[in-house]
Amino acid sequence: MRLDAGNDFGDRAMAMFGEYEEMTVYRPGTTIPDTKAMVEKTAEHLAKGTPVICEAAFIYYNNYCAVDILRKTETGYDFYEVKNAPMVYDQFIRDAGFQYYIMNRCKLNIGKIFIVTHGEDEENPFVSNDVTVKAKGYAKWINDNIWDLNRMQKQPEEVQIEIGEQCTKPYECWYYGYCHHLSEVEVNE
């Protein structure tokens, strides 16, 4: 239910600057995004100078991101990450920092970075919060750590990490059920 509300909020936010082009492409017969096709479609629209691009996709050394809204400026693009939340949380800024890092490495000139939260009512449904300085400030940290993540991704063995707070904060990990199931199996053996 909460995910659906977030998706609805994000879908409505796509039109906050008027007409837009959406980059979402699905693999045939599925609802699984075709990331390669999305990256290619994004490159076409960037080359054309499309004023507002939604779900713009980028890949840099197997690191993928899809940006909610790119809005063309005189010098490049500003980007807007949409969150169905009443305020900006630090994990949103870290996420935007990662996206900025990937786009910057893909040679896209990014000016300002905004986190869009919900407004007080339907008259003012969207609030754009400028997080440019903080989000861009994560670039060095991301660069220092991203290569370790890529290395781990290619290891033949699973990374072994103790179950802990990182399993649920800031979000529940996609592998929560898998890891917790394995933990229960080990205890019962």
CA separation for the pair 34, 64 (Å, rounded): 12
The pTM assigned to this predicted structure is 0.80
* Contact assessment for residue 103 and residue 65, using Cβ atoms and an 8 Å cutoff: yes
Burial tier of 159 (Cβ tally within 10 Å: 0-12, 13-18, 19+):
exposed
Per-residue pLDDT, 29? 93
Q: Which CATH number fits domain 2-157: 3.40.1350, 3.30.2310, 3.10.450, 3.40.50?
A: 3.40.1350
* Contact assessment for residue 103 and residue 93, using Cβ atoms and an 8 Å cutoff: no
Q: State the DSSP string of 65-99.
A: EEEEEEEE-SSSEEEEEE--SSS--HHHHHHHHHH
pLDDT in tens, the chain (189 residues): 444 444 677 888 898 999 999 999 999 999 999 999 999 999 999 999 999 999 999 999 889 999 999 999 999 999 999 998 999 999 999 999 999 999 999 999 999 999 999 888 777 889 999 999 999 999 888 888 887 777 777 777 776 778 888 878 777 776 777 776 655 545 455
In 3D, which of 66, 82, 93 has the Cα closest to residue 119? 82
Polymer length in residues for the chain: 189
CA separation for the pair 125, 120 (Å, rounded): 7
Can you give the residue ranges of every domain in the chain?
A: 2-157, 158-189
